[in-house]
Structure 1
Amino acid sequence: MVTGEPNDVRLKNVDGNWVVHVVKDGKVTRRLFDAQAVAESYAEDQRIRLGLPGRPPTS
């Protein structure tokens, strides 16, 4: 649990893999993807599900 953390979706490239971090109600989940396009699609779906504006940040 991440107390007080706002809902958020982030996309990050780690050693050639794509990680999507989703924070919902203080709980962090991560999913790993081989393909950037699949990770971006998943991140966008999560952003919409959480009602977040804009595209998820990529780092």
Structure 2
Amino acid sequence: MVAGEPNDVRVKRCGGGWIVHTVQDGKLTVLRFKTQSPAEYFADAQRTRLGLAAKPPIDQR
């Protein structure tokens, strides 16, 4: 990530678990979760903290 990029939060299914990508001021943080519910809860909290309004779709790739 590059400084100046917009803040973003994404949830992605990865293997047998879930990951949450959080970009704040161009810095990427990745957290892994075993199940979808805690990942979504964490991502929603991060969106609220960063002032992001909408929840993007889950990336199933």
Q: TM-score under structure 2 normalisation? A: 0.88
Gap runs ≥5 in structure 1:
none
Distance 1:22 1:10 in 2: 7
Distance 1:36 1:9 in 2: 15
| Deviation >4 Å, runs of 4+ | none
Structure 2 counterpart of 1:2: 2
Distance 1:25 1:14 in 2: 25
Q: Across the two proteins, how many residue pairs are aligned to each other?
A: 59
Distance 2:46 2:56 in 1: 9
Structure 2 counterpart of 1:21: 21
Structure 1 counterpart of 2:58: 58
Give the partner amino acid of 1:29: T
Distance 2:56 2:42 in 1: 10
Structure 2 counterpart of 1:11: 11
Gap runs ≥5 in structure 2:
none
Q: TM-score under structure 1 normalisation? A: 0.91
- For the residue of structure 2 that corresponds to 1:39, the secondary structure is helix
